[in-house]
Amino acid sequence: MEIKKKPVFDFFKRLFDLVVSFLFMAVFCWFYLLIAILVAVGDGEGKPFFVQERVGMNGKRFKLYKFRTMCVNAESQKEMLMDKNEADGPVFKIKDDPRITKIGKFLRATNIDELPQMLNIFLGDMSFVGPRPPLPKEVEQYSETDRYRLLVKPGLTCFWQASRNRNDISFEQWMELDRKYIRERSLWLDLKLMFMTVGVILRHRDGR
């Protein structure tokens, strides 16, 4: 599998990622500290950050960072909840996941739980825009067509993330959206998807 090379786009995309992620973490370090304290105090146990291995560009594995939104033993409970999985394909999703903490619901609704991934972007494992990074177990179930999404860096947001009805999108439709991004990727499209994502977050916050 190959994709069209875009060296100029890749250069400016990486420059944007590096500069903006660094400035964001520098300016909002106080906010990171505040959220970390709220998460730690929220359920009185466990660390405020959740670290999980994900698969990035060309199958390279890396540690993805998030604010913890679930109880500390969430992974051990996953097997018991498999029969409640509402997603198709190799993805596991439950709309009202009982493992999510009270503060976790707010963090997920506002996407604040994703902010530690600014470090992933700064380090070069991720970009602001690109296919969402999958779990190794999910990749093991990928078809050759699905693996196409591993030819670019994973991102904080994408077509799927920027969709108002993303929970209604099937796995195959999600994969096609990622392939669409890879084919059409450009700086303009990246900016468009970032603004669309902000719009989705604001509408969700306002209950629309």
Query: What H or E segment, with its residue span, contains residue 54?
Result: strand 49-55
Domain ranges in the chain? Answer: 7-74+88-205
| Predicted pLDDT of residue 86 | 64
The 10s digit of each residue's pLDDT in 131-161 is 999 999 999 999 999 999 999 999 999 999 8
Confidence at residue 204, expressed as pLDDT on a 0 to 100 scale: 64
pLDDT, residue 91, reads: 77
Which residues of the chain, if any, have pLDDT below 70?
44, 83, 86-88, 204-208
Pairwise CA distance, residues 176 & 146, whole Å:
9
- Predicted TM-score (pTM) of this structure: 0.89
Cβ–Cβ < 8 Å for 145, 115: no
Q: What share of the chain is helix, strand, coil (3-state, %, to 5)?
A: 55, 10, 35
The pLDDT, as a whole number, for residue 208 is 42
